[in-house]
Amino acid sequence: MYGKFQKHLQDELSAIEQAGLYKHERNIVSPQSAEITLEDGSKALNFCANNYLGLADNPRLIKAAEQAMLSHGYGMSSVRFICGTQDMHKELEKAIAEYFHTEDTILYAACFDANGGVFEPLLTAEDAIISDSLNHASIIDGVRLCKAQRFRYANADMADLEEKLKEAQSCRFRIIVTDGVFSMDGNVAPMDKICDLAEKYEALVMVDESHSAGVVGKTGHGVAEQFDCYGRIDIFTGTLGKAFGGAVGGFTTGRKEIIDMLRQRSRPYLFSNSLPPMIVGAGLETFKILRESNALHDRLVENVNYFRDKMIAAGFDIKPTQSAICAVMLYDAFLSQKFAAAMAEEGIFVTGFYYPVVPKGQARIRVQLSAAHKKEHLDKAIEAFIKVGKKLDVIK
Ligand SMILES: *Cc1c(COP(=O)(O)O)cnc(C)c1O
């Protein structure tokens, strides 16, 4: 039978390739860092990782992971509620709750699972989920797994959100769901206004802090800190795979009864393996580092401001970023690919995005800054941007 199916896949794959949408992997042979080494021995500066706090190769995390393996073993061979919970899992859940000023936390293998398992246990067909149109794929999938009615509002558009809240007034419960930082523009969800509307129209509030925790807010604690919304957000989800060390792991943190119910009914928690000790040990060390000092976050903010100001001065069209994501607007899809390829030749890794990842005519280069970037890295990247920008007639 495979022959016919093979032909079908080959056709689809070549259509993907012809549309220029085929995803190629780049083989890195060094740890993830500001500077990486490729298979052919060449080096590149990395401006497309989610390594916001530069912790992905942090020696303290590596040591903590090693020590956790020595004291608590390699794997758990169990889901949490059967025999997969160690003292460390509870400690990490507590550390995350302290970080977000919440009552309790539940760990998952990834934030994809946290979002996949958050709606279905809490809401039914009588309820409504009101979701930002640019929310992450895992939120969209999580909503699909739940029978609640679905409403979508235009990205960060409070008038549209209010309309949708009015439409959903006949439902039993309503929940507003948003990413904290949207990964394409780097804009921040207006949490204070979202919480105001939630109070006015009696809705719960959930925010996915994957790109915002560790990044936005005065000390990097995310959108609740930035908008002073502590106590007004019912559910936070997040990842250990971006700012918080960059390995794997996700979490949902929030009100006690909500987390309790997830422990009873959330399917990715009930039916998927427990996080291994090395991840949990390094996770605990991550939050210890962040409690000790704000140096990493301070450096990230400094780097973002430096890069953005120099790029604007060079004449680039930069989306007004409020995070560690900086969108350099080119508008033309073909140009965005050519630009990213030319940057790679200069030894700078950035990503070109175009339709359907971003709206038509909104093609761009996305730059992700990190606390790991030194000033010389930023200068090299800016220099390359100016060189390529002039060559491709983007700037004068
Ligand atoms: C990256 C990301 C996720 C997925 O996180 P993982 O832990 O890698 O599964 C979920 N939501 C948002 C908003 C993200 O940016």
Look up the pTM and report it: 0.96
Alpha-carbon distances, residue 225 vs 254, 273, 282, 299 (angstroms): 15, 32, 24, 18
**Which residues, other chains included, contact 244 with Cβ-Cβ below 8 Å and sequence gap of 6+?**
53, 55, 213, 214, 238, 283, 286, 287
Q: Residue 112 Cα, ligand 1 centroid: separation in angstroms? A: 6
Q: HEC string of 48-97?
A: CCCCCCCCCCCHHHHHHHHHHHHHHCCCCCCCHHHHCCCHHHHHHHHHHH
Residues with CB under 6 A from ligand 1: 110-112, 115, 136, 138, 179, 183, 208, 210-211, 239, 241, 250
Lowest mean pLDDT among 67-76, 83-92, 136-145, 350-359: 350-359
pLDDT score for 21: 80
Q: Residue 215 Cα, ligand 1 centroid: separation in angstroms? A: 15
Q: Residue 394 Cα, ligand 1 centroid: separation in angstroms? A: 32
pLDDT score for 10: 98
Q: Residue 152 Cα, ligand 1 centroid: separation in angstroms? A: 20
Q: How confident is the model at residue 20 (pLDDT cuts 50, 70, 90)?
A: confident
Residues 26-59 pLDDT 10s: 899 999 999 999 999 999 999 999 999 999 999 9
Query: In percent, how much of the chain has pLDDT > 90?
Result: 96
Whether the Cβ atoms of residue 343 and residue 385 lie closer than 8 Å to each other:
yes
Give the residue-averaged pLDDT of 194-220. 98
- With the most atoms of ligand 1 within 8 angstroms of its CB, the residue from 32, 135, 138 to mutate is 138
Atom of ligand 1 nearest to the CA of 183: 15
Q: How confident is the model at residue 136 (pLDDT cuts 50, 70, 90)?
A: very high
Count of Cβ atoms closer than 10 Å to residue 261 Cβ: 14
Q: How confident is the model at residue 300 (pLDDT cuts 50, 70, 90)?
A: very high
Give the residue-averaged pLDDT of 98-118. 98
Nearest CA to ligand 1 atom 5: 111
What is the C-alpha separation between 96 and 329, in angstroms, rounded?
36
Atom of ligand 1 nearest to the CA of 239: 7
- With the most atoms of ligand 1 within 8 angstroms of its CB, the residue from 32, 51, 111 to mutate is 111
What is the C-alpha separation between 156 and 179, in angstroms, rounded?
10
Atom of ligand 1 nearest to the CA of 248: 7
Lowest mean pLDDT among 44-53, 273-282, 313-322, 364-373: 313-322
Q: Residue 210 Cα, ligand 1 centroid: separation in angstroms? A: 6
Whether the Cβ atoms of residue 119 and residue 145 lie closer than 8 Å to each other:
yes
More confident residue, 251 or 21: 251
**Per-residue pLDDT at 19 exceeds 90:** no
Atom of ligand 1 nearest to the CA of 249: 7
**Per-residue pLDDT at 90 exceeds 90:** yes
pLDDT score for 76: 98
Biggest alpha carbon–alpha carbon distance for the chain: 64
**Per-residue pLDDT at 22 exceeds 90:** no
Give the residue-averaged pLDDT of 228-233. 97
Give the residue-averaged pLDDT of 379-392. 98
**Per-residue pLDDT at 98 exceeds 90:** yes
Q: Residue 111 Cα, ligand 1 centroid: separation in angstroms? A: 5
Residues 147-197 pLDDT 10s: 999 999 999 999 999 999 999 999 999 999 999 999 999 999 999 999 999
Task: Give me the amino acid identity at 392.
Answer: L
- With the most atoms of ligand 1 within 8 angstroms of its CB, the residue from 239, 252, 253 to mutate is 239
Task: Give me the amino acid identity at 369.
Answer: L
Active site amino acids: 183, 211, 242
**Per-residue pLDDT at 202 exceeds 90:** yes
Rounded to the nearest integer, the mean pLDDT of the chain is: 97
Lowest mean pLDDT among 107-111, 218-222, 355-359: 355-359
Nearest CA to ligand 1 atom 2: 210
Nearest CA to ligand 1 atom 14: 210
Atom of ligand 1 nearest to the CA of 181: 13
Burial of 39 (0-12, 13-18, 19+ CB in 10 A): exposed
Pairing relationship of beta strands 348-349 and 325-331 according to DSSP bridges: unpaired
**Per-residue pLDDT at 232 exceeds 90:** yes
pLDDT score for 62: 98
Q: Residue 236 Cα, ligand 1 centroid: separation in angstroms? A: 12
